Structure 1
Amino acid sequence: MLRLIAFAALGALIGGVIVIAVGPPDVGYAVAGVALPVFIMTSVLTLVARSVGNAVGASPQAVQQAKDARRLGVARIDALRQTGTQINDQPLCELDLTVQPLHGAAFASTMRTVVPVTAIPMFQPGTERDVAILLDGGPEVAFIDAGELAPAERSRLRVPPRGSVLFLPVEPHRRIVDGRRRGPLLGVGRAGRPGRIALFAIVAIAAAAIVVVPYHQSVAQAIVALEDGRLRPDLRRPEALAEAQRALQEAIGHDRVVSITVAADFVIVQAPLTVGDTKTDRWEYRYGQVTNDGAASIQPESAAEQFSWSDVALDRVWTLMQDGAEQVDLPVGDALAYLVRSTDTDVDSPTFARSAGPPQITFSIGDDYGSTSFVADADGSGLTAR
């Protein structure tokens, strides 16, 4: 189970990294910030569990059942080795044992158990200890206090030399429950390794998918953007801008806007709640998703400021920026375009001096030493520098 959790955390971590790269970074960092410590913790616990793989899991109930059934004996410690692992600051040790049961043939085995530092003298080679044999025939044993064996029983038990008895290995990762060996939900042997690897891979992929799927549009756009050497699409380019327009129109519910701001990574639109209404919201398209930020900070004075998406040639924005950059011999860089109605210059018009003229496309190209502003008609013609 720990391994499943570890691989699920690994998948979530990978998904978080993908979202950081192509989606909302704050979401990706939040997911990765949780997944990484979970992955580290479960990995460490898995390594600890592996190191105690052939430690005998002897519950008090299993020991008591062995006592009640008189499955008792004497074990001689033939060797004690520290594994280098510590549990609760106490060494995990490997013990070579030769066991003489009260009933049945003697056997040899090797087990791992935590031996407190203060108890190490009690486990020196040659020392004999009373044990409970958890299952008939062994090899799982648990050390018990002296006194369970009657003096007459203890006196007739002689532990034979280790080399003269059958060696019975302890099956790794097994616990004794209700008189039976119980293994982990997922096996640890070589035979089931391909199946486990497949399961772990499925769990990791599923966890990554759960994180990434809400941002599948960003991932799809990133795959396309990789052709241009970018992790995210440049929304100023025609194909990406058309996708942003489609998503925004669908979310807003109509095609009327007050202004459109186009940047490499986002598109911001101020749109009325309904066509002809002056109450205006701010909408943003970023990372393949549309968000409504509520009321715009500056509300239009009249519905005359509105125009339709179809009134402006959005597919000309990138070309206009390239033309402007060529005129001033500078790269397009992080330039953004602003689309809004021009000021009405007709002194006889009721909307004189208001943003009620024909829509325009404006942008600036520059560097640290200055910038040049450009303006073009809504259809992309008439590019001029200001």
Structure 2
Amino acid sequence: MLRLLAFLALGAVLGGLAVAALGDQETGFGIFGIALAVFIISTVLVSVAKSLSPALPSPAAVTAARDARRLGHARIDGVRQTGTLVNDQPVCEIDVTVIALDGGAWATTLRRIVPLIELAAYQPGLERDVVILLDGGPEVVFADGELSPTERERLVVPARSAVELRQIETGTRVRNGRRSGPLLGVGRRGRPWRLALFAMATIVAATVVLLPYRDGIALTVAAWQDGRWSADMRTPDSLQTAKRALQAEIGHDQVVSIVVTPDAVIVDAPIRAGEQATDEWNFRAGRVTHEGAALSQPRVAEEQFSWSDLALDRVWPALQEASDQSGLPIEGAPVSIRRTSDSDIESPTFTESVGVPDVSFGLSDDYRRASFTLSADGSRLTPIG
């Protein structure tokens, strides 16, 4: 299960990077950092568990085998350090040849933690008593003194080349009288199924992370088809997608202000249409977030206007036209939309932002700046100043 968790975390790592690439870097890198930590920890635990598993046979299994007199005699044919240390003690592979009390014989390789102070007891050529965990082995545990002198004398360990080599499957243990392994197994036979499951886990985790950003993925793919690396929220399709998503989350079509940048649409909208209390909502990377109360609250409810009052499809063409007129680049120029101020000194709402909605933006380079306004219906682009 730890390996499955590692691949789930790997999927979340990839999903987090994708979210960051879509533009929501705070969330994306947050997911990436947490998932990467889980991936590293679970991978380390898998490695440690793999090292510890053969070194810690079940005490109950040893007792059961001893009580059943599943005993034998074994010769150590070779010892190799694996390079893994557990509590500064080496994990070793120990080649042994075994003969059981019932006459069965085989060769196998054990994987055990060998304390440094006990290395002398594992020298090649030494013969030691063993407890055989299951009938026919191959799992055995060294248990000096279990055999009587008579039993030991009649048990002659054969040459290693003269008996069957029985491998111990990696990751298995003997418990409750039977051999068991990890749920997913670690043998060659199940490798294709494991790889398929791990790949599926990675894909599922990445999908779960990216699902809230499906609109952003669609916009990014569309941008690639147009030869751009990422979506620009000022373009018609992107702005319409943001509008639909924001209206669905807010629950109505009234807004107090809209700010459009290349990577986000930021909206101040009343909690309920017609009321004055206003919250901030963001559409970024294809996902809507609710930021809570807006920093600037409207002075009158009449500052609200409807998305339908705006020709949003004219915003990008207006930016291009303004760039052509001024010779200035569009680059990251933000677009601001809000009502104009009432200039009628006789009006009770004089100076309040209750006029027709107005689209405004500025273009600049290192030496010049030009400002423009666009009428709400998109029919008239006017330079300012």
Aligned-pair Cα RMSD in Å? 2.5
Tell me: CA distance 1:381–1:115, structure 2 relative to 1, closer, same or farther (3 Å).
Answer: same
Partner of 2:141: helix, strand, or coil? strand
The letter for the 2-side match of 1:120 is L
Count of matched residue pairs: 384
Matches within 5 A, 1:32-43: 32-43=32-43
Aligned to 1:113: 112
Distance 1:301 1:184 in 2: 65
Matches within 5 A, 1:98-137: 98-137=97-136
Tell me: CA distance 1:179–1:345, structure 2 relative to 1, closer, same or farther (3 Å).
Answer: closer
Aligned to 2:370: 372
Q: For 1:100-157, what per-residue CA distance to the aligned partner results, in whole angstroms no more than 9, with x for missing partners?
A: 32331333222221111111111111112111122223222101132x2223333333
Q: For 1:342-368, what per-residue CA distance to the aligned partner results, in whole angstroms no more than 9, with x for missing partners?
A: 233333333333333333221100023
Aligned to 2:237: 239
TM score, norm. by length of structure 2: 0.90
> Comparing 157-166 with 134-143, which one deviates more in the overlay?
157-166
Distance 1:138 1:302 in 2: 85
Percent identity of equivalent pairs: 53
Question: Mind listing any 5+ residue stretches in structure 1 that lack a counterpart?
Answer: none
Aligned to 1:360: 358
Distance 2:321 2:276 in 1: 35
Cα displacement (A) at 1:230 = 4.4
Matches within 5 A, 1:1-386: 1-22=1-22, 24-47=24-47, 55=54, 58-146=57-145, 148-230=146-228, 232-385=230-383, 386=385
Q: For 1:237-285, what per-residue CA distance to the aligned partner results, in whole angstroms no more than 9, with x for missing partners?
A: 1111112222233333333333222221222223334444333333332
Cα displacement (A) at 1:289 = 2.9
Tell me: CA distance 1:181–1:347, structure 2 relative to 1, closer, same or farther (3 Å).
Answer: closer
The letter for the 1-side match of 2:339 is R
Question: Mind listing any 5+ residue stretches in structure 2 that lack a counterpart?
Answer: none
Tell me: CA distance 1:105–1:384, structure 2 relative to 1, closer, same or farther (3 Å).
Answer: closer
Cα displacement (A) at 1:79 = 1.4
Partner of 2:359: helix, strand, or coil? strand
Cα displacement (A) at 1:220 = 2.0
**8 Å CA contact 1:93, 1:114 repeated in 2:** yes
The letter for the 2-side match of 1:6 is A
Tell me: CA distance 1:175–1:224, structure 2 relative to 1, closer, same or farther (3 Å).
Answer: same
**8 Å CA contact 1:257, 1:306 repeated in 2:** yes
Partner of 1:356: helix, strand, or coil? coil
Distance 2:305 2:99 in 1: 95
**8 Å CA contact 2:170, 2:187 repeated in 1:** no
**8 Å CA contact 2:139, 2:168 repeated in 1:** yes
Q: For 1:326-349, what per-residue CA distance to the aligned partner results, in whole angstroms no more than 9, with x for missing partners?
A: 222121011111222223333333
Cα displacement (A) at 1:286 = 2.2
Partner of 2:354: helix, strand, or coil? strand
The letter for the 2-side match of 1:225 is A
Partner of 1:217: helix, strand, or coil? helix
Cα displacement (A) at 1:205 = 1.4
Distance 2:249 2:109 in 1: 68
**8 Å CA contact 2:341, 2:353 repeated in 1:** yes
> Comparing 136-145 with 225-234, which one deviates more in the overlay?
225-234
